[in-house]
C-alpha cells in the first residue's frame, strides 16, 4: 500500500484532517484489489493508479456536492451505474451525514457492493440491484423513496437524451445531476447534442476539477432539474 500517496491526496482535497476516513478508504482499496481479477471492477495497472484515477478522482468534487446539499434536509444521493462503488463509496465514507443509494444492474457487481458496504460498516449506504428506469416513481416503485437531491455518476459516455430523461425521473424537483467528465470541449459538444434534441432548455454548468497527482483534464457537469 502507498498510504502516503492517499493521505497526501486527501490533504490536497481538504480532507486530510479527518483521520476517520483514511482507514475505511484503505480497506475499500484492498477490497477492490481482492475482487478485481474475478469481477473486472476497474482497469488499473497498479495501486497508485487505483488511488489517483479512482479514489481521489471520486472525491475531487466533494466540496461542490456538499455545497449543493447545504440546504437539503434529506441529503439523498444516488450513484447510478455504480460498478465498483465509484464515486459513491468514497463520497459516502467522507459524507456520513448524507444517505447514499448505489444503483447497479449487474448482479456480480451489486454483490461486491453489498459486501463492501458490510465490510466497511457504512450505515449511510444501500445497494439497489436494478436498471435505473425500473426505480423511478413512474414505474410504480415506492414513489418518493427513489427521488434524490443529487445524482452522481462516472458512466454514460456520452450522456444522451434517453439516459438524461431516466436520470431526471429519479431527481426531486430542483435536484442536480453531477457527471464526472473529461475535457471541456468534449463536454460542451455533448451538451450541444443534448440540447438539439431535448425539448426544454437545460440549466447546465461545467466546473473544473483538480484531482491530486492526475495530469488529465477533469470537469464536473452539473444539470439542474426544473422545479
- For 87-98, the pLDDT digits (tens) are 999 999 999 999
pLDDT of 143: 46
pLDDT of 87: 98
Task: Report the distance separating Cα 39 and Cα 186, nearest Å.
Answer: 30
pLDDT of 114: 98
CATH code (residue 142) = 3.40.50.150
* CB contact set of 160 (below 8 Å; sequence gap of 6+): 193, 194
Report the predicted TM-score, pTM, of the whole model to 2 decimal places. Answer: 0.94
Confidence check: pLDDT of 140 > 80: no
Tell me whether residue 4 is in a domain: no
Which is it for strands 218-224 and 171-181: parallel, antiparallel or unpaired? antiparallel
Confidence check: pLDDT of 142 > 60: no
Confidence check: pLDDT of 43 > 50: yes
Tell me whether residue 35 is in a domain: no
What residues make up the domain containing 160? Answer: 59-224
Domain count, the chain: 1
Task: Report the distance separating Cα 171 and Cα 191, nearest Å.
Answer: 19
Tell me whether residue 91 is in a domain: yes
Tell me whether residue 87 is in a domain: yes
What integer is the mean pLDDT of 137-150?
A: 69
Give the three-state DSSP class for 165: helix
Q: Listing from the earlier edge strand, what are the strands of the sheet with 204-209?
A: 125-129, 99-104, 76-80, 148-153, 171-181, 218-224, 204-209
Task: Report the distance separating Cα 28 and Cα 36, nearest Å.
Answer: 12
Place of cell 451489486: 110
Nearest of 57, 89, 96, 64 to residue 210 by alpha carbon = 57
Tell me whether residue 33 is in a domain: no
* CB contact set of 50 (below 8 Å; sequence gap of 6+): 29, 32, 33, 42, 44
Q: Model confidence at 139, in pLDDT bands (50, 70, 90)?
A: low
Tell me whether residue 174 is in a domain: yes
Tell me whether residue 26 is in a domain: no
Task: Report the distance separating Cα 46 and Cα 80, nearest Å.
Answer: 26
pLDDT of 158: 82
Tell me whether residue 53 is in a domain: no
Kindly list the distances between the CA atom of residue 108 and the CA atoms of 31, 35, 44, in Å, as whole numbers in the listed order.
14, 10, 19
Amino acid at each position: 500500500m502507498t498510504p502516503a500517496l492517499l493521505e497526501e491526496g486527501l490533504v490536497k482535497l481538504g480532507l486530510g484532517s479527518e483521520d476517520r476516513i483514511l482507514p475505511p478508504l484503505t480497506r475499500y482499496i484492498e477490497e477492490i484489489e481482492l475482487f478485481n481479477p474475478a469481477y473486472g471492477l476497474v482497469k488499473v495497472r497498479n495501486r497508485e493508479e487505483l488511488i489517483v484515477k479512482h479514489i481521489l478522482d471520486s472525491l475531487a468534487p466533494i466540496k461542490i456536492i456538499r455545497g449543493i446539499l447545504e440546504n437539503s434536509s434529506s441529503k439523498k444521493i444516488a450513484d447510478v451505474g455504480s460498478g465498483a462503488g465509484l464515486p459513491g463509496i468514497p463520497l459516502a465514507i467522507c459524507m456520513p451525514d448524507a444517505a447514499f443509494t448505489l444503483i447497479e444492474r449487474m448482479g456480480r457487481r451489486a454483490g461486491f457492493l453489498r459486501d463492501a458496504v458490510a465490510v466497511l460498516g457504512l450505515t449511510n449506504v444501500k445497494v439497489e440491484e436494478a436498471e435505473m428506469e425500473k426505480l423511478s416513481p413512474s414505474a410504480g416503485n415506492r414513489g418518493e423513496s427513489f427521488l434524490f437531491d443529487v445524482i452522481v455518476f462516472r458512466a454514460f459516455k456520452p450522456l444522451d437524451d434517453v439516459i438524461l430523461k431516466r436520470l431526471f425521473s429519479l431527481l426531486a424537483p430542483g435536484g442536480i445531476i453531477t457527471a464526472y467528465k473529461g475535457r471541456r470541449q468534449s463536454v460542451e459538444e455533448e451538451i450541444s447534442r443534448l440540447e438539439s434534441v431535448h425539448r426544454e432548455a437545460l440549466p447546465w454548468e461545467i466546473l473544473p476539477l483538480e484531482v491530486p497527482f492526475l495530469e488529465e483534464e477533469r470537469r464536473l457537469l452539473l444539470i439542474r432539474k426544473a422545479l
